[in-house]
Amino acid sequence: MAEQLVAIDPGHGGHDPGAVSAGAQEKDIALAVSWKIAYVLDYWPGYKPFLTREEDSFVTLQKRAGLANTAEAALFVSVHTNAFSNPEANGTETFYFPGSQEGKRAAGLIQDELLSGLQLRDRGIKRARFAVLARTLMPAVLVELGFLTAEGKPELMQTDHFQWLSAVGICHGIRKYFEEG
Which residues have CB under 8 Å from 161's CB, separation 6+? Answer: none
Q: What is the pLDDT of residues 5-14, one digit of tens each?
A: 999 999 999 9
CA distance 125 to 120: 14
Whole domain around residue 114: which residue ranges?
Answer: 4-179
Start-to-end CA span in the chain (Å): 11
pTM exceeding the 0.95 threshold for the entire prediction? yes
Distance of CA 149 to the CA centre of its chain: 18
**Mean pLDDT over residues 151-165, rounded?**
96
Write the CATH number for 62: 3.40.630.40
SS3 146: strand
- Per-residue confidence at 181, pLDDT binned at 50, 70, 90? confident
Question: Residue 44 CB: number of other CB atoms within 10 A?
Answer: 13
Burial class (CB in 10 A: 0-12, 13-18, 19+), 77: buried
Which pLDDT score, from 0 to 100, does residue 17 have?
98
**Total number of domains in the chain:** 1
Which pLDDT score, from 0 to 100, does residue 53 have?
98
Q: What is the mean pLDDT of the chain?
A: 97
**pLDDT score of 1 more than 70:** no
What is 92-130 written as a DSSP string? EEEEE-TT-HHHHHHHHHHHHHHHHHH---EEEEEE---
**Mean pLDDT over residues 67-73, rounded?**
98
